């Protein structure tokens, strides 16, 4: 009796498939994808059973459905697939910025003048005006910018306050800052996949989600409490005192740039 012959390549193959399935599960968690996948598995099992029982009519219909299943999956999971590829792309550019810059012409992000940002956040905190500000680093945020409205304006305190003014048509969503320019407003950020406390609002979840897929530093001004928060590298620091906010923001940016240079 011959035993199953397993090589090192087979073990690597199994581990790679398991890792891929786990990563897909993490990406799909919290969406409707698991329910759809369950439905597909049930249809496949029924097709196998009907084929084994020689039920030609039903098995033929189900076979045709499964035959075009790849195209159907691409259509159904289009948002999840886009987010999956976006996450891989952004993380790859974050880990190897110099390599990708050579081939895709990535632009370096000059140092940002924090003074207008800090003043705007301080004044919005006192007025309890909600805000969500993304300071771009090395990661390419083109896909995020495309979800909003291009501004391309000089960074200034009045500009930020006007964008997040409650009656402004652009106040809902995030503002993207690159170098000393406001690139876009009303941008949609990905929500975090992590389990977070229920006290986290939509802005805090979006800030945390953005920090998970890029090296951007994200600032949140709470509309309910006026609290200041900073998200970076998959972590968020909440309720930062106004007096230490500028130093905390500057230190976070320095740590981010130092990490990128080390890589």
pLDDT of residue 91: 56
**Spacing of C-alpha 49 from chain mean position:** 41
Output the tens digit of pLDDT for each of the chain's 263 residues.
455 677 888 888 888 888 877 776 666 665 556 667 777 778 888 888 888 888 888 888 887 777 776 676 777 666 666 666 666 665 555 555 555 445 444 444 557 889 999 999 999 999 999 999 999 988 878 888 999 999 999 999 999 999 999 888 888 899 999 988 999 999 999 888 677 777 788 999 999 989 888 889 999 999 999 999 999 988 899 999 999 999 999 999 887 655 544 44
pLDDT of residue 261: 47
Distance CA 158, CA 168 (A): 13
**Cα-based distances in Å from 42 to 38, 51, 80:** 6, 14, 21
pLDDT of residue 8: 87
Nearest in space to 190 (alpha carbons), one of 171, 206, 176:
206
Topology of the domain covering 114-262: YojJ-like (1 (3.40.1700)
Q: Are strands 131-135 and 149-154 parallel, antiparallel or unpaired?
A: unpaired
pLDDT of residue 213: 82
Nearest in space to 261 (alpha carbons), one of 77, 109, 82, 103:
109
Provide φ and ψ at 71, rounded to 5°. Answer: -65, -40
Q: What is the DSSP track for 93-148?
A: HHHSHHHHHHHH-PPP-PPP-HHHHHHHHHHHHHHT--EEEEE--SS--HHHHTTS
pLDDT of residue 13: 87
Domain boundaries, the chain: 8-76, 114-262
> Which tokens is 27 given?
């990406």
Neighbours of 170 (CB within 10 A): 17
């Amino acid at each position: 009796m011959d035993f199953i012959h397993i090589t090192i390549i087979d073990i690597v193959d199994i581990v790679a498939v398991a890792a891929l399935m786990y990563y897909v599960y993490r990406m799909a968690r919290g969406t409707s994808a698991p329910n759809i996948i369950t439905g597909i598995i049930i249809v496949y099992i029924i097709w196998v059973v009907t084929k084994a029982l020689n039920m030609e009519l039903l098995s033929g219909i189900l076979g045709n459905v499964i035959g075009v299943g790849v195209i159907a999956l691409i259509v159904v999971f289009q948002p999840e697939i886009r987010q999956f590829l976006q996450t891989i792309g952004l993380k790859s550019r974050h880990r190897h910025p110099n390599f990708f810059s050579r081939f895709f012409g990535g632009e370096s992000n000059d140092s940002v003048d924090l003074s207008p940002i800090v003043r705007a956040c301080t004044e919005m905190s006192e007025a309890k005006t909600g805000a969500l500000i993304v300071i771009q680093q090395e990661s390419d945020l083109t896909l995020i910018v495309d979800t909003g409205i291009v501004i391309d304006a000089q960074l200034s305190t009045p500009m930020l306050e006007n964008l997040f003014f409650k009656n402004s048509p652009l106040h809902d969503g995030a503002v993207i800052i690159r170098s000393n320019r406001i690139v876009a407003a009303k941008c949609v950020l990905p929500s975090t996949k992590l389990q977070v406390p229920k006290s986290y609002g939509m802005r805090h979840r979006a800030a945390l989600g953005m920090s998970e897929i890029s090296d951007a530093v994200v600032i949140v001004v709470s509309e309910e409490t006026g609290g200041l928060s900073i998200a970076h590298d998959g972590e968020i620091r909440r309720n930062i005192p106004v007096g230490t906010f500028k130093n905390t923001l500057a230190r976070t940016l320095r740590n981010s740039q130092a990490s990128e240079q080390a890589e």
